[in-house]
Amino acid sequence: MPIISASNITKKFNSFTAVNSVSLQVEKGEIFGLLGPNGAGKTTFISMLVTMKRPSSGRAEVNGFDVSSDPRGVRKSIGIVFQDQALDEELTAYENLDLHAALYSVPRNEREIRIMEVLKMVELDSRRDDQVKTFSGGMRRRLEIARGLIHYPKVLFLDEPTLGLDPQTRKHIWEYINKLRREHNVTVFLTTHYMEEADTLCDRIAIIDHGKIIMMDTPSGLKDSLGGDTLLLECSSPRKLCSTLKGQECIIDSKPHNGKLTLRLDNGEKKIPMIMQKARDAGVAVSSVSLHKPTLDDVFLHYTGRTIREENISSAESFRMHARARRRMR
Ligand SMILES: Nc1ncnc2c1ncn2[C@@H]1O[C@H](COP(=O)(O)OP(=O)(O)OP(=O)(O)O)[C@@H](O)[C@H]1O
Ligand SMILES: [Mg+2]
């Protein structure tokens, strides 16, 4: 029996549909990832599973409890690591965990053992009596994960667990998450917009865009489903090159996007000279070429016509533009 089960879960904010009829099931002990760009509906979806937001329609169960009719049952079964649940900076690591343990009614005589256990798990036991304000970003995130585990949850929900962390710390967090599953059989449901995170950490991934699941499979299943090699060309006119290459039998798919052309084709390395020749004949200047096996970003591009990376960059840019505009208005 799945430990998480959602069927046709929908969340509307007035007339805007943030999560659109999502159905999925997660098995016990799985690490499941919801991958999508900014604004795709990841936090909204996970918020309904953890009973922080009520679904507009549809049903979901976690550990056998219905999120709408039995939120208490759900909350007892889960640990939550969300961005906005701040730690108390003035308290020590130990005190933060002790407070949380009390909140979750962990019996007083068990608290110290459990706190030390979870602190060891995230390798912060030597810092137990230091105030959180002296911790780095990665250490804080580890402490937040420890806090989410203090009441031995069956399912741990993580919203963007490594957002803003450097690559090395990110890998560390992945190791802890893997260890949790290996040693404690905790089911992990996480959201991310980092493709590498979804690819290396998750057993299965659901790709979400505009509130809808567009694909769901294992990382290799998703990548293999595309077939062929990916050839990425940066060029002066991706659309022109795309139409020049139309009709070439070896090309399975071609997508111009953001100053680039992504082609999928078999035996890509052998086709590069022909493609370069066609580009020259059409007067398209190619400034870089790279060939790789399909990535999750190529999967996203295939179904949406955009890449997750470009989406995130453009969101960040629009955020900066808005911030600049706001500053000007002050
Ligand atoms: N309380 C709310 N009221 C109105 N709209 C909302 C509300 N919360 C979220 N939204 C909208 O719903 C959409 C999905 O937001 P959500 O936070 O779930 O995205 P996300 O995938 O988590 O994005 P990010 O990667 O930026 O965290 C966005 O368009 C957002 O503006
Ligand atoms: Mg979010």
| Smallest CA separation from ligand 1 atom 9, residue | 44
Over range 139-155, report the average pLDDT: 90
Q: Are residues 111 and 126 in the same domain?
A: yes
pLDDT at 179: 87
* Domain closes at, from 183, 206, 222: 222
Q: Are residues 34 and 182 in the same domain?
A: yes
Q: How far is the CA of 247 from the centre of ligand 1 (A)?
A: 41
pTM of the model: 0.86
Q: How far is the CA of 115 from the centre of ligand 1 (A)?
A: 34
Residue 99, CA distances (Å) to 104, 112, 119 in order? 9, 12, 14
**Is 47's C-beta closer than 6 angstroms to any atom of ligand 1?**
no
Counting atoms of ligand 1 from 1, which one is nearest the CA of 14? Answer: 4
Residue 262, CA distances (Å) to 42, 167, 236, 294, 328 in order? 27, 26, 14, 11, 39
Q: Are residues 89 and 238 in the same domain?
A: no
Would you give the end-to-end CA distance of the chain in angstroms? 56
Q: How far apart are CA 277 and CA 283, in angstroms?
A: 10
The residue range of the domain holding 28 is: 4-222
Q: How far apart are CA 299 and CA 305, in angstroms?
A: 10
Q: Are residues 191 and 239 in the same domain?
A: no
DSSP three-state, residue 210: coil
Cα torsion at 232, 236, 239, 241 (round to 10°)? -70
Q: How far apart are CA 305 and CA 265, in angstroms?
A: 17
Q: How far is the CA of 291 from the centre of ligand 2 (A)?
A: 32
At 153, give phi and psi (nearest 5°).
-70, 155
- Is 320 part of any domain? no
Q: How far apart are CA 7 and CA 55, in angstroms?
A: 11
The token duo for 2 is 């799945």
| Smallest CA separation from ligand 1 atom 26, residue | 38
Q: How far apart are CA 177 and CA 171, in angstroms?
A: 10
**Is 193's C-beta closer than 6 angstroms to any atom of ligand 1?**
yes
- Nearest ligand (C-alpha, residue 38): 1
Contact in structure between 272 and 201 (CB atoms under 8 Å)? no
The total domain count for the chain is 2
What share of the chain has pLDDT > 70, as a percent? 93
Most confident of 79-83, 165-169, 230-234, 264-268: 230-234
Q: How far apart are CA 244 and CA 223, in angstroms?
A: 27
- Is 298 part of any domain? no
- Is 318 part of any domain? no
Q: How far is the CA of 36 from the centre of ligand 2 (A)?
A: 9
Looking at every residue in the chain, the average pLDDT score rounds to 90
Residue in the structure block whose two tokens are 């979901």: 60
Which DSSP symbol is given to 131?
B
Cα torsion at 314, 318, 324, 325 (round to 10°)? 150
pLDDT in tens, 149-184: 888 899 999 999 888 888 888 888 898 889 888 988
Q: Are residues 197 and 68 in the same domain?
A: yes
**Is 53's C-beta closer than 6 angstroms to any atom of ligand 1?**
no
Q: How far apart are CA 329 and CA 212, in angstroms?
A: 36
CATH at residue 247: 3.30.70.980
pLDDT at 318: 53
CATH at residue 210: 3.40.50.300
Contact in structure between 89 and 132 (CB atoms under 8 Å)? yes
* Domain closes at, from 200, 222, 244: 222
- Nearest ligand (C-alpha, residue 312): 1
- Is 328 part of any domain? no
Contact in structure between 19 and 45 (CB atoms under 8 Å)? yes
**Is 42's C-beta closer than 6 angstroms to any atom of ligand 1?**
yes
Over range 240-257, report the average pLDDT: 91
| Smallest CA separation from ligand 1 atom 6, residue | 13
- Pick from 10, 13, 34 the residue to mutate for probing ligand 1's pocket: most ligand atoms within 8 Å of its CB: 13
Contact in structure between 256 and 279 (CB atoms under 8 Å)? no
pLDDT at 304: 87
Q: How far apart are CA 263 and CA 247, in angstroms?
A: 13
Counting atoms of ligand 1 from 1, which one is nearest the CA of 46? Answer: 18
Number of residues that this document lists for the chain = 330
User: Per-residue pLDDT for 53 more than 90?
Assistant: yes
pLDDT in tens, 257-278: 988 999 999 888 999 999 999 9
Confidence of residue 112 (pLDDT cuts 50, 70, 90): very high
DSSP three-state, residue 88: coil
